[in-house]
Structure 1
Amino acid sequence: MAMPLRQTLRLGRYLAKQKLLRRDKFPLIVELEPLFACNLHCAGCGKVEEPAAMLRQRMPVEQAIAAIEECGAPMVSLAGGEPLMHPQIDEIVRQLLDRDKIVFLCTNALLMPRHIDKFTPHPNFSWMIHLDGMKQRHDESVCHEGGFEGAVEAIKLVKERGFRVMTNTTVFNSDSPQDVIDVLNYLNDDLHVDNMQIAPGYAYWKAPDQNGFLGVEETRALFKEAFADGRRKKWRLNHSPLFLDFLEGKVDFECTPWAIPSYSLKGWQRPCYLLDDGYVSTYRELIEDTDWDAFGRGKDPRCANCMAHCGYEPTAVVATTGSLRETIRAAVA
């Protein structure tokens, strides 16, 4: 099953507007990082390697909202670091919802029981809980024993409270197709999360573990086997069918890094969340002063093995809306 209907309709209207305005670069979703601090030290991340002074900073609510209003994206992914460590994260969420944004709050879930009463269910709000596999695999990934149980209990808690719950699972080269099948079956059939996202491990340069990232051919082989026998159709995956085809190697796309820009305490990150070629203070500078044609597989060696959601899902979404056949396919998937 594909993306939620509300999200699909919102994106469809937004993309139609961009086409009418003849804009060739526009944000679909902003990765908003109001802090770098985190309560975990995950092997595939590196945000907590920032200087101590930066880890103590928290983005003011007004600055966070202004960035989203400046770029005009219809969706916002609140990330970090761990967003629940921001003392005003609930106010950021409320103000974004008041502006009719679709909001995903990305969290490792360990702090959710402490903060859940600050939030109210809303049709445009989802918890996006990080869960990288079953117990042993997840705890190894987040370098924290008990991380899996904490995430599972948090999922149960927020579902009982009436919230929309999604998950994000990053896959590394130590994962087998069966590992992917097991965790998606568990999330889909046992925990009944509303939607799931999957991401090939990307070569994030700050990550403590630089040996666990997948190559392109490894990614394609892994997902081709994991998706076999019609399994991907039964899972409630928050992806377009074309992006899932891309993961399997059935189609290939150019990267569109401008479509999911990243804004943090340092400003707008150029060119994307995974590469750090500096920061600019305004969204306009990011779009107009970045050589977007210089990035992607076959162009920049740092992009050689990247098949990340943040670069290729937007390409798949735009390709879907540009094809009647793919639009119908996405609607009935």
Structure 2
Amino acid sequence: MAIPAIQVARLGKYILTQTLKGNKHYPLVLMLEPLFQCNLRCKGCGKVNQPPEILNKRLSVQECIDAVEECGAPIVSIPGGEPLLHPEIPTIVSELIKRKKFVYLCTNGILMPERIHEFKPSPYLTFNLHLDGPAEVHDKVVCKQGVFDSAVRAIKLLKSKGFRVNTNTTLFGGQTAEKAAEFFDFLMDLKVDGMTLSSAFSYEAAEDQDAFLTRPQSEKLFREIFTIGKNKNWDFSHSSFYLDFLAGNQPNYKCSPWGNPCRSVHGWQRPCYLLEDGFVSSYKELMEDTDWDKFGVGNDPRCANCMVHCGFEPTAVADSVKRPIKGAMLALKGVSVK
């Protein structure tokens, strides 16, 4: 199962509680970036372009705990940078698990063999391995040979030790549906617990702007992928409504940038993980002083081609709560493809 039953139940209860309270802007996933430093320089990432004084900065254990408690989201995703470069990352993870937060620790896998002994398997912990395609694709995206093999070894090692493992795949321009389908088959053969998908979004800080997909290109690619995968047992860590959105079948979805707030070494990022319109010092200030209606497709030209899960998954999840019968039908047939 892509998402643990305990997480589904806890998330459902949380969303229902927020709905009954009449809350419109509530977080589902906190994007916690304890550092920007990385041991790779991927062409789709702009984090490593930060000045040295920022790359050398770390959030402390207490700052991470404070951010999680201030935000209140039931799920915490820890990207970076490369989180395994943070000397206190095992303590951070342990403290969040004590608070019964579902933690997704994102990593490229390079440092996994030397740090795995610092973690313990838990239903609250999932390692999220970055893999953007087969070896020739992934190593080109991360601009370094051998990283694909390191990630695969890390997946096998983690699974052998009893850890939950997801993969995180961003599809860039030039990738075909056939190759993507073969890659997903490969990942399922590795017995990963779930796969996370996204189309490459050309946010301003990214280095290689030519590698990104337009929205029509993304929809066409995902429709073709899901057509091929109709009779396959792929486990995606997404709501069926979000997968339907990727295939172009939910054209009216609006972004919910408040659903995945981001706390980094700069502070709370406004308005979302991929756009930088300044930072504020508190979650309360982020939620109350941000003009959310300014952003999203149709409002901000920077968002025109965005289909990224950090903005649209919260919308899809909220929709699935409103339309549970249709959600069940979509889940049964994988995803509706026109």
Structure 2 length-normalised TM: 0.95
Corresponding position of 2:291: 291
Cα shift at 1:9: 1.3
Find the aligned partners of 1:321 and 1:235 in 2 and give their Cα distance.
23
What letter matches 1:95 in structure 2?
E
User: Equivalent residue for 2:226?
Assistant: 227
1:229–1:36: structure 2 CA closer, same or farther, 3 Å change rule?
A: closer
Which ranges in structure 1 are unaligned for 5 or more consecutive residues?
Answer: none
Partner of 2:91: 91
Q: Which amino acid aligns with 1:241?
A: S
Say whether 1:153 aligns with 2:157.
no
Please list the CA deviations of residues 130-181 of structure 1 after superposition, one character each: whole Å capped at 9, or x if unmatched. 0000000000011110000000000000000000000000001121111211
Matches within 5 A, 1:1-333: 3-188=3-188, 190-231=189-230, 234-252=233-251, 253-329=253-329, 332=332
Q: What is the rounded CA distance, in whole Å, between the counterparts of 2:257 and 2:329 in structure 1?
A: 25
For 1:7-34, what per-residue CA distance to the aligned partner results, in whole angstroms no more than 9, with x for missing partners?
A: 2212101001101222111100011000
Which has the larger displacement, 203-212 or 256-265? Answer: 203-212
Give the residue type in structure 1 aligned to 2:222. Answer: F
Q: Percent same amino acid at aligned positions?
A: 49
1:5 deviates by 2.4
Distance 2:325 2:186 in 1: 32
Structure 2 CA distance for aligned equivalents of residues 331 and 241 of structure 1: 6
Q: Name the aligned partner's letter for residue 198 of structure 1.
A: L
SS at match of 2:277: strand
| Structure-2 separation of matches of 1:240 and 1:233 | 17
Structure 1 58/2 Cα, relative in aligned 2: closer, same or farther at 3 Å?
A: closer
C-alpha distance in structure 1 between counterparts of 2:226 and 2:134, whole Å: 18
Runs of 4+ in 1 over 4 A off after TM superposition: 330-333
Q: Secondary structure at the match of 1:269?
A: strand
Displacement of 1:328: 3.1
Deviation readout 1:267-299 (Å, 9 max, x if unpaired): 110000110000001001001100100111111
SS at match of 1:97: helix
Over 3 Å counting, the alpha-carbon distance change for 1:229 and 1:76 in structure 2 is same
Displacement of 1:330 in angstroms is 6.4
Task: Answer yes or no: is the 8 Å Cα contact 1:240–1:330 preserved in 2.
Answer: no
How many angstroms apart in 2 are the aligned matches of 1:64 and 1:306?
Answer: 28
Whole-Å separation in 2 of the counterparts to 1:233 and 1:12: 27
Letter in 2 for 1:304: A
Counterpart code for 1:238: S
- The one-letter code of the counterpart of 1:192 is K
RMSD in angstroms over aligned alpha carbons? 1.3
Cα distance in 2, alignment partners of residues 147 and 2 from structure 1: 24
> The residue matched to 1:228 in structure 2 has which SS?
helix
- Note if contact 1:203-1:274 (Cα within 8 Å) is conserved in structure 2: no
For 1:193 and 1:39, the matched residues in 2 are separated by 24
TM-score, scaled to structure 1: 0.97
> Distance in 1 between the 2:182 and 2:227 partners?
14
- Whether contact under 8 Å (1:171, 1:200) holds in the other structure is yes
Check conservation: 1:4, 1:238, Cα contact below 8 A.
Answer: no
Give 1:233 shift: 5.6
Contact 1:2 1:241 in 2 (8 A): no
> What is the CA–CA distance in structure 2 between the aligned matches of 1:240 and 1:221, rounded to whole Å?
19
Cα deviation code 1:216-239 (max 9, x no counterpart):
100010010111045376201001
CA deviations over 1:183-207 (Å, ceiling 9, x no partner) = 111001x211010011100112222
Separation in structure 2 between the aligned mates of residue 232 and residue 129 of structure 1, nearest angstrom: 25
What secondary structure sits across from 2:220 in the alignment? helix
Whole-angstrom CA distance in 2 between matches of 1:258 and 1:42 = 26
8 Å CA contact retained: 2:240, 2:327:
no
Return the letter of the residue paired with 1:15.
Answer: I
